[in-house]
Amino acid sequence: MAIVTFSSPEYRDKTVYAVAGSHTQTLLKLARENKIPINFECEDGECGTCAVKVTSVDKKIGRMGGPLTEKEKSVLHAAGKLSKAEAEQMIVDDLPSPWRLACQMIVRDEDILVEY
Ligand code: FES
């Protein structure tokens, strides 16, 4: 069970539980199920509208998250959220970037803070 806190300067923070492990539940799907107003358009990793900042707040483990696909990397790069250097460092460190596309990120068994 992962604890996901959604935080926005315009709304009250909302913390929800996510059943991780289905490998199909995206962050955007979880947000919509819980009426969190994250902006989105395509839901297919194309437009970059759903970019959110994700931070691990899990004390037990290091950052999990899934690897970014090439498509997610290029959309985040086009949106100015991920530089080429950061993308390369991400591969060296084997860590996901702080910015993710909510419609592409699969929720893992990790407590996270999502800023939108
Ligand atoms: Fe378009 Fe996520 S909604 S990239």
- The per-residue pLDDT for range 14-24, each reduced to its tens digit, is 999 988 666 77
Ligand 1 mean position, distance from CA 41 (Å): 6
Q: With residue 91 as reference, give the H or E element that holds it.
A: helix 84-93
- Residue pair 54/7 in contact (Cβ under 8 Å)? The answer is no
**What b/e string do you get for 38-56 counting C-beta neighbours within 10 Å, with b at 16 or more?**
bebeebebebbbbbbebeb
- Percentage of residues of the chain with pLDDT beyond 90: 64
Distance (Å, rounded) from C-alpha 50 to C-alpha 40? 5
Probe target for ligand 1 pocket from 29, 46, 114, with the most ligand atoms within 8 Å of CB: 46
- Grouping H, G, I as helix, E, B as strand and the rest as coil, residue 76 is helix
Of the residues 103, 106, 114, 116, which should be mutated to test ligand 1's pocket, given the most ligand atoms within 8 Å of the CB?
A: 103
What is the domain partition of the chain in residue ranges? 2-115
pLDDT of residue 90: 85
**Cα of 75 to ligand 1 centre, how many Å?**
9
What is residue 53's predicted lDDT score, i.e. its pLDDT? 96
- 16 C-alpha to center of ligand 1: Å? 22
Q: What is the pLDDT along the chain (116 residues), one digit of tens a residue?
A: 889 999 999 999 999 998 866 677 899 999 999 999 999 999 999 999 999 999 988 876 666 666 788 999 999 999 999 999 998 888 888 888 889 999 999 988 889 999 99
Question: In whole angstroms, how far apart are CA 10 and each of 4, 74, 79, 95?
Answer: 18, 28, 21, 29
Superfamily designation of domain 2-115: Beta-grasp domain (3.10.20.30)
- Per the CB < 8 A criterion, the answer to whether 13 and 27 are in contact is no
Query: For residue 29, how far is its CA from the centre of ligand 1 (angstroms)?
Result: 12
